[in-house]
């Protein structure tokens, strides 16, 4: 038996029993970017989602593998997909060339990926999506195990 959390081969959740809800891929989604492991934000219509941009504050969750799909299945606009909205350990796509160490806070990057939270003014870095559970420093996008723990971003001082 492994002594740590093992990255799954055909699902996003690695450990835990998170809350998962079905939502629809919105009209403004880029279908190549809304694959399992992508972080999503609300689209224009209620209960629809699209891929997150960089330093997002209002992300909704992470796309899980559909029961009839795989980690590479690209849903179409209008398809229903499972969205992880609760606390768990899961695998997401880390932006290329991010130097991440275990425990680093992560925020959203372009195209539903994640990146290391930059040093900056509180309220301007994006809401932390979770914390790295492994280190990575590669020149390509990489699957990384994180502790996904939805929480509010502190507001900037006024």
pLDDT tens, position by position, 19-62:
999 999 999 999 999 999 999 999 999 999 999 999 988 899 99
* Residue 24, H or E segment: strand 20-25
40, β-bridge pairs: 51, 61
pLDDT (average), residues 118-130: 77
CATH topology of domain 88-148: Beta-clip (2.40.340)
3-state secondary structure of 110: helix
pTM assigned to the model: 0.92
Indicate whether 94 pLDDT > 80: yes
> Which residues make Cβ contacts (< 8 Å) with residue 67, sequence separation at least 6?
none
Q: What is the pLDDT of residue 150?
A: 82
Structure tokens belonging to residue 130: 């979770």
Q: What is the pLDDT of residue 158?
A: 53
**Start-end of CATH 2.40.340 domains in the chain:** 88-148
C-alpha dihedral (56, 61, 67, 73), degrees to nearest 10:
10
């Amino acid at each position: 038996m492994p002594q740590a959390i093992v990255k799954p081969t055909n699902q996003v959740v690695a450990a835990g029993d998170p809350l998962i809800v079905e939502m629809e891929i919105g009209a403004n989604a880029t279908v190549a970017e809304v694959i399992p492991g992508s972080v999503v934000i609300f689209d224009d219509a209620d209960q629809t989602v699209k891929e997150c941009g960089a330093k997002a504050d209002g992300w909704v969750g992470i796309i899980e593998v559909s029961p009839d799909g795989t980690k590479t299945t690209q849903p179409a606009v209008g398809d229903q997909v499972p969205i992880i909205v609760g606390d768990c350990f899961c695998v997401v796509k880390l932006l290329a060339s991010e130097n991440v160490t275990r425990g680093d806070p992560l925020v959203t990057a372009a195209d539903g990926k994640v990146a290391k939270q930059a040093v900056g003014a509180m309220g301007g870095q994006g809401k932390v999506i979770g914390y790295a559970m492994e280190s990575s420093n590669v020149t390509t996008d990489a699957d990384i195990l994180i502790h996904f723990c939805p929480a509010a971003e502190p507001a900037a001082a006024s």
